[in-house]
Structure 1
Amino acid sequence: MQLYPLFADLSGRPVLVVGGGDVAARKASMLLRAGATVTVGAPVLGPELRELVQQGRVAYRDGAYQPGWQDGTWLVVAATRSRPLNSRIAADGHARQRLVNVVDDPALSSFQVPAVIDRSPLLVAISSSGVAPVLARRLRERIESLIDPALGSLLQLAQRYRARIRARYADLGTRRRFYDWLHDGPVNASLRASQPLHAEQQLVAALARHDESKPQGSVALVGAGPGDPGLLTLHALRALNEADVILHDELISPQVLDLARRDAVQIAVGKRGGGTHTPQETIHALLLEHAQAGRRVVRLKGGDPFVFGRGGEELAFLREHGIACEVVPGITAALACAAYSGVPLTHRDHAQSVRLVTAHCQQSLDTLDWADLARERQTLAVYMGVAKLEEITRQLVAHGRSASTPFALVENGSLPTQRTLVGTLGELPALATRHAVRAPALLILGEVAAQAESSHWYGELLGAVAAKAPALANAA
């Protein structure tokens, strides 16, 4: 082990930063966050450090570096642009037995500043011993995505009640089980929902109970986005890594499921038109069964749970049965398919509104206000409409939408197999049949869809533009 890991308490202790530029400002700000008494020395200060001095948060030594600046300090940071000067500062510090950090120069340093994940009072520090600081930062980004932002608040709450928890649960094994419940149960869920008072009330109520009842489970309704695992939110990734049970839609990509906790039970509750179908009542029963057994359950849905995902029904059902819930939004198909095809859903010149429409069955089509949907200067994003393209085209044209209106039909949006079919509304059913477009696919209809012809950047482009490409090449 080349370095000895150390977390230093600098609260109220004097620290010297030599340098007046941006790097020195970053170092001074981080030291201030740790409670240090910071002095900065330099002939000239940049705007950030000048502001800190004017605010009285940092003391200032004006002029060229002097060895005496280090007297009485606990540690020293050299952040000048001159390596000879940094070498002098380091040598003076080592002679005085100071801890010295020379920015980006491990050979001159007696301590190094790690990449830090701050969930105070929890701190995670990552060091590459100065060999690869970029790698350390990249690892920090990965680990930070797995650490719940609410964890700091939970630790502060647990710290305040530590004595009462120890008195209530004298047995070490029972106490550990209580802390597991504290981290995994409704207290942490309330903190994630920005309800600290409710979280504390739940903790107090648990300490007041005299039974050792089975811990309560919880459910997270999580949006998995359109399929590309890179589009998962940090909250979704955290939920997948904490889940005991995952109930997932059929269209969730294997790459997304691979990010889940390895020992989590995965249950497919597929819903696909014309194929397998799990009744909603069965899904409700499974959610309730596993949550009541004390498990952390993730209901993983394609896109966003609250956009044609029946997430509202599941949330209401769970609330009726007293199950702790949270909702993690996902990137819905309309946003992802449009972005991956270069189509802006709104545009100053062409569309001032967007309509999200579902067309998965005849009943849903019969309830639509076709005259309103046929209006110009709006964008239609039609979900689950591949099997109903002829009916959609017929109704829109019959109610006044021009047959020359551009469309973009995006199959497998955001996945490596994405295909974008472009053309005009009158051609839509025939083109979709010719290119054998299959679900899942999202239809974008409106003037903005024409931009796919010039701005398309991901996957294969099909339709009139693609057909013209060989002719243009021959003409050239």
Structure 2
Amino acid sequence: MNYLPVFVNLRSKFVLVVGGGIVSERKIQLLLKAGAKVNVLSDNLSPNLILLKEQNKIIWINDKFHEKYLKKIYLVIAATNNEILNQKIFEIANKKFILVNVVDDLEKCSFIFPSIVDRSPIIVAVSSSGTAPVLSRLIREKIEAILPFKLGNVANLAGKLRNTVKNFFLNCSDRRYFWEKIFNGSFVNYVLHNNLKLAIQNFYSEMKNDSTLHGELILVGAGPGDLGLLTLRGFQVLQQADVVLYDYLIQRDMLNLVRRDAQCICVGKRVNDKKSWNQKDINNLIVELVMKGKKVVRLKGGDSFIFGRGGEELEAIKKIGGNFQVVPGVTAAIGAASYAGIPLTHRQYSQNLFFVNAYSHDFSNVIACLSLSKLSYTIVIYMGRTKCELIVTTLNNHSFSIKTPIAVISQGTTMKQQVLIGTLSNLVELINQSTSPTILIIGKVVYFHDKLKWFNDINK
């Protein structure tokens, strides 16, 4: 370990920054955020530093560097273009045992600035020991994406409640177990959504260990295939799950995002597959796990509320008085169409959009209503693969021309995405050429594919 990571309390401590340019600005902003009293030694200041001086946030010393300016200084930063001066500052600071950082000169640094994720009072610092600062920044960005922006509010509230827990649980291990339960439960979610009243109620309920169900169901839409389309909130929830119930449409790589000690159970359904789970059994399993106090993530392809039976699963939990929440996902129609370069609505060709399930009992009636309407629209058909002949017959019977443009998109948004363009007359043929899962898009907007396609092209 080249450096020992240490968090230094700079509040009300004097810091000297030598140099008044843009490089100094970045360091000074960090120092001010930490509560330091910043002296800037330079014969000129950048516009932003002049503004800080006028606001009395920094002290400007318009002079040349002299050893006297290091008196009562806690640490010093040299941000000048003068290598001789930087060397001098480094040597004098070292002799006086003052921490020193010469910007962009690692050998002249007794401390370095890490990449910082600020969720105050939660602070995460990432460093490559000065060898690859850009890599540190990229790692920081990934951590930024994981940690909720209001996480600091959770820490602040927990800090205020800390003595209450200490007085209630005399045993250290009991306190640790309680906090683990709190931070993995609804308490955090309530705070993140600014519902402090419910957060406090949940806190005292958990502390008294009453009979309230502590399990929870979270519906998570995994998106249409590309892992990058999983929402930030969805990723955070996967990291908290005790059990993940997933479908066949879920990309296997997505399960690598699940907490390592979580249990993953496939409850997928396939047509004519006797081993497939039925919805009643899935609902019963969810209820059983939640009643055991488990945080259950129901991971579904696309969005849970678009032909995903998410509502039915929530109803099952609602009946037992269980807790639940929903994390929306990018539905297959939106994702597949976007990656195929097909705008589902267009001011000239389609001002209305209809999602239709080919397995719906009133599929024919829906098509009949659309055929009678004078709207300009796009139809997106889910689960149409095994119903393609019925789709052709139904559309034909309701005055849809055999020249009606159709796109068949299979494995949308993935590296195996395939887009086949044709008309109603050759839909069956297109379906036979495609692989599962597929989604059908019907309407004039289909013709935009040749003009606006992009995803398959960049992956060639």
TM-score, normalised via structure 1 length: 0.85
Question: 2:437 matched to which residue of 1?
Answer: 440
1:408 aligns with 2:416: no
Higher mean Cα deviation, 411-420 or 141-150? 141-150
TM-superposed deviation, 1:7? 0.5
> What SS class does the counterpart of residue 337 from structure 1 fall into?
helix
2:226 aligned to which of 225, 228, 247: 228
- Distance verdict in 2 for CA 1:254–1:61, change over 3 Å: same
Question: 1:130 matched to which residue of 2?
Answer: 130
What are the superposed Cα offsets for residues 54-85 of structure 1, whole Å, 9 maximum, x if unpaired? 44433434576665554433222233455455
TM-superposed deviation, 1:166? 0.9
8 A Cα contact 1:246 1:297, kept in partner: yes
Q: What amino acid is the match of 1:2? A: N
- Distance verdict in 2 for CA 1:122–1:403, change over 3 Å: same
Cα distance in 2 between the residues matched to 1:367 and 1:40: 76
Q: Percent identity?
A: 39
- Distance verdict in 2 for CA 1:66–1:245, change over 3 Å: same
Cα distance in 2 between the residues matched to 1:399 and 1:170: 74
TM-superposed deviation, 1:46? 4.1
Higher mean Cα deviation, 348-357 or 285-294? 348-357
Cα distance in 1 between the residues matched to 2:314 and 2:110: 55
Higher mean Cα deviation, 41-50 or 133-142? 41-50
- Distance verdict in 2 for CA 1:175–1:128, change over 3 Å: same
Question: 2:153 matched to which residue of 1?
Answer: 153
- Distance verdict in 2 for CA 1:40–1:271, change over 3 Å: farther
TM-superposed deviation, 1:264? 1.8
1:253 aligned to which of 230, 251, 254: 251
Question: 2:242 matched to which residue of 1?
Answer: 244
8 A Cα contact 1:18 1:40, kept in partner: yes
1:286 aligns with 2:285: yes
> What SS class does the counterpart of residue 118 from structure 1 fall into?
strand
TM-superposed deviation, 1:192? 3.7
- The 5-angstrom pairing of residues 194-205 of structure 1 reads 194-205=194-205
Cα distance in 2 between the residues matched to 1:28 and 1:47: 14
- The 5-angstrom pairing of residues 203-222 of structure 1 reads 203-207=203-207, 209=208, 216-222=214-220
What are the superposed Cα offsets for residues 393-437 of structure 1, whole Å, 9 maximum, x if unpaired? 45446555554443321101122222111123443333333x2x2
8 A Cα contact 2:154 2:192, kept in partner: no
TM-superposed deviation, 1:42? 4.2
TM-superposed deviation, 1:45? 4.2
Give unmatched runs, 5+ long, in structure 1.
462-476
1:116 aligns with 2:113: no
Cα distance in 1 between the residues matched to 2:20 and 2:379: 55
> What SS class does the counterpart of residue 191 from structure 1 fall into?
helix
8 A Cα contact 2:381 2:441, kept in partner: yes
Question: 2:271 matched to which residue of 1?
Answer: 273
Cα distance in 2 between the residues matched to 1:54 and 1:378: 59
Cα distance in 1 between the residues matched to 2:406 and 2:276: 30
TM-score, normalised via structure 2 length: 0.88
Higher mean Cα deviation, 302-311 or 53-62? 53-62
What are the superposed Cα offsets for residues 361-396 of structure 1, whole Å, 9 maximum, x if unpaired? 151413525443775643332221222334434544
Aligned residues: 456
- Distance verdict in 2 for CA 1:85–1:385, change over 3 Å: farther
Question: 1:30 matched to which residue of 2?
Answer: 30
8 A Cα contact 1:189 1:324, kept in partner: no
> What SS class does the counterpart of residue 381 from structure 1 fall into?
strand
RMSD of aligned alpha carbons: 2.9
What are the superposed Cα offsets for residues 197-239 of structure 1, whole Å, 9 maximum, x if unpaired? 21012213444x3x57697222221111112223222222222
TM-superposed deviation, 1:107? 1.2
8 A Cα contact 1:270 1:278, kept in partner: yes
Question: 1:474 matched to which residue of 2?
Answer: none
> What SS class does the counterpart of residue 258 from structure 1 fall into?
helix
Q: What amino acid is the match of 1:24? A: S
- The 5-angstrom pairing of residues 25-424 of structure 1 reads 25-62=25-62, 68-149=68-149, 151-207=151-207, 209=208, 216-275=214-273, 276-359=275-358, 361-368=359-366, 370-372=368-370, 377-396=376-395, 399=398, 403-424=402-423
> What SS class does the counterpart of residue 427 from structure 1 fall into?
helix
Cα distance in 1 between the residues matched to 2:347 and 2:407: 19
> What SS class does the counterpart of residue 242 from structure 1 fall into?
coil
- Distance verdict in 2 for CA 1:42–1:255, change over 3 Å: same
Cα distance in 2 between the residues matched to 1:448 and 1:442: 15
Q: What amino acid is the match of 2:138? A: R
TM-superposed deviation, 1:149? 4.6
Cα distance in 1 between the residues matched to 2:323 and 2:191: 12
8 A Cα contact 2:409 2:417, kept in partner: yes
Higher mean Cα deviation, 287-296 or 147-156? 147-156
Give unmatched runs, 5+ long, in structure 2.
none
8 A Cα contact 1:117 1:124, kept in partner: yes
8 A Cα contact 1:422 1:453, kept in partner: no
Cα distance in 2 between the residues matched to 1:352 and 1:82: 64
